[in-house]
Structure 1
């Protein structure tokens, strides 16, 4: 079982879109996949579940669906019926009443599950922030707080027999993301070829190395064997370039200028190398073209872009575009599985 966090502290690069489609395609390629929504914005959860299911999922603890005392209108037999979110799982810690309350993942389809997010997860940020410093001294309560996400994910993954865990996190370097990334064996970085994404890499690499070193050298040795703790490997798996929509005010030449800089910045900032050979693209997993024209159709049809049919409005040349989308995501999923297998082998033989 390998856990992969999709993370770039620069937002707007298509991270959640990538997580959604990659999770579905990995399942098509034969993997048993657990998708985890640890972004408090909960966009991955909203992409997978429809509005009626979200109403059921979030309705119990949200005034949004029960204003003025009116009862929540529930639809029977939804995937979200009797399900809880990651915010529910950490609520005992947040309220000081106990440890995590593990939750069962939502079955999306055969071989694909979701640990759903909730906007209320953002209230856990302050508790995680204070627990990080207290963990230096081996305080058990602080350790249980910091490892909460790891233990929730591990419990759910074992319950469904997941081969691969995809963790979607928000675009920042805050305490929630730190706890989420501690639970990751590897980090996959979606990015655009622009100044802001490269600046994000310059911040991302040193921060991940600092978190890893602090956890492995200062905190983990003091953790009791009674508390399952992550290794915080956070191994760089590589990056996926999300191609922008080419416009007249954004020449291809400008795009290429930033594109050529990515390998060196990734190698030096994320991998921590003093230098990086020119032309070495070994950590570039793929470049995904822009499928903006397919997104509205996919959203309306409540399905991945590569599953669109003529009945969904994918007519004529658009259907050929759907086929290209399927081919690109299939190739991406196969490469992610190959790299995950290599990482698993390396971990077993270390």
Structure 2
């Protein structure tokens, strides 16, 4: 059975998309089948993995081969539509993606908490991702992980993804806002779960004995990732270390809050180290730019030349850059190993 993971932080610029892509590729390199859901209207994950031209061809088609094709029927009361999955030119072929679409803004606006969720009448809109994976499973496609890339907001798309997810991973960067946004998640997630429970209760009043949604709507906080820090002389800069310490304290407060306020299930995984860290990835500098330009996961860039500019001029990586690529590869592998071992 697939494990559903939301990678989310209310703060933008924490590397959600890049981490989602690279972690998925690393999991696939370890033999896992991964389905990526680009649930962000900005569609950065789709563009990064598939390339600009391929993505343009998907969204410009009148019958767009994006997530819109599947979701639009929910708004037209015709039920879910056709599912299109795609693979990237340089990403492991065990990773498939349901491409995003700018139209997701429309779907987000249509996810009405009052009319759809709290009344229990539109639960299916909020669990569409589960239906998508179940449909693929019935068609013979099996996945070990479904990983969802999300916008930096607390809107309907995020609610929908969290209700469909088994696990929540929070990426953080070295700044005060990451710490602050962890506290916002601690406030908002219990409210989201309370709304879900209210909706399910109302749903069951009109659907006696139904257990269709009993196993979902129970996301567990499963860890955080420290992303984009700098190292000099083999250790983190003092400022980055200070921010990391503050984030660790915010994570402990998050764990305490979720454990205290969410009563109907255990909202935090059992982490034996009790630090809830899944690992970290240091600042990629020019590596990330090249990764996006060439649609190549960062850990695989050593096998390709560096692109100097969008004009296409190429040159060899320096020894220092090759060492950084290898370090990033190792760091991503550590995170994927922890996901495999901890999210059980």
* TM-score of the aligned structures, taking structure 1 as reference length: 0.80
- Range 215-224 or range 184-193, more displaced: 215-224
1:136 is the counterpart of 2:118 = yes
8 Å Cα contact 1:58-1:118 kept in structure 2: yes
Partners of 2:8 and 2:170 within 8 A in 1? yes
Matched, 1:269 2:251: no
The residue aligned with 1:28 is 29
Structural mapping, 1:233-312, within 5 Å = 233-245=218-230, 252-272=237-257, 282-309=275-302, 311-312=304-305
Query: 1:83 & 1:134 partners in 2: Cα distance?
Result: 26
Rounded to whole Å, the distance in 2 between the matches of 1:299 and 1:330 is 19
Q: 1:93, CA displacement in angstroms?
A: 2.4
Displacement of 1:55: 2.2
Q: Deviations over 1:179-208 (max 9, x none)?
A: 111111000000013210111011112211
- Structure 1 counterpart SS, 2:343: helix
Q: 1:311 deviation in Å?
A: 4.2
User: Relative to 1, partners in 2 of residues 1:55 and 1:258: Cα closer, same or farther, differing over 3 Å?
Assistant: closer
Q: CA deviation at 1:88?
A: 2.0
1:148 aligns with 2:148: no
- Give the equivalent residue in structure 2 for 1:110: 93
Q: Using the alignment, how far apart are the partners of 1:299 and 1:244 within structure 2? A: 19
Computed over aligned residues only, the root mean square deviation of the Cα atoms, in angstroms, reads 2.5
Contact 2:299 2:326 in 1 (8 A): yes
Q: Give the Å deviation of 1:217.
A: 4.8
Contact 1:35–1:115, Cα closer than 8 Å, also in 2: yes
Would you say the 8 A contact 1:306–1:323 is kept in 2? yes
Residue 49 of structure 1 and its aligned partner are, at CA, apart by 0.7
Q: CA deviation at 1:298?
A: 2.0
TM-score by length of 2: 0.82
Look up the match of 2:13: 12
- Structure 1 spans left out of the alignment, 5+ residues: 62-81, 275-279, 342-350
Displacement after TM superposition at 1:42 (Å):
0.7
Q: 1:328 aligns with which of 326, 331, 335?
A: 331
Indicate conservation of the 8 Å contact 1:186/1:236, yes or no.
yes
Q: 1:304 to 1:98 in 2, by over 3 A?
A: same
What is the CA–CA distance in structure 2 between the aligned matches of 1:299 and 1:316, rounded to whole Å?
21
CA distance in 2, matches of 1:293, 1:230: 43
* Distance change in 2, residues 1:220/1:149 (3 Å): farther
**Counterpart contact for 2:200–2:213, Cα < 8 Å:** no
Q: CA deviation at 1:292?
A: 1.6
Cα–Cα, structure 1 residues 117 and 324, in superposed 2: closer, same or farther, change >3 Å? same
- SS of the residue corresponding to residue 170 of structure 1 reads coil
Shift of the 157–266 alpha-carbon distance from structure 1 to 2, 3 Å rule, reads farther
Tell me the equivalent position of 1:183.
164
Q: 1:156 Cα shift?
A: 3.0
- Deviation per residue, 1:135-162 (Å, 9 max, x gap): 33332xx222222233123323554200
Residues 226 and 253 of structure 1, relative CA distance in 2, 3 Å threshold? closer
Shift in alpha-carbon separation, 1:263–1:296, aligned structure 2, 3 A: closer
Instruction: Give the corresponding residue for 2:105.
Output: 122
Are positions 1:219 and 2:200 aligned together? yes
Where 2:251 maps in the other structure, the secondary structure is helix
Q: What are the Cα deviations for residues 82-132 of structure 1, in whole angstroms up to 9, with x where unaligned? A: 8721122111222x241221413223443111011001110112210x254
Distance 2:211 2:182 in 1: 36
Residue deviations 1:230-268 (CA, integer Å, cap 9, x gap): 611110010001133579xxx933333322122221122
Q: Counterparts of 2:151 and 2:138 in 1: how far apart (Å)? A: 25
Change beyond 3 A, Cα 1:226–1:336: closer
Which residues in structure 2 correspond to 1:41-52 (within 5 Å)? 41-52=42-53
How far apart, CA to CA, are the structure 2 residues paired with 1:230 and 1:44?
A: 28
Q: Which moved more, 1:162-171 or 1:237-246?
A: 237-246
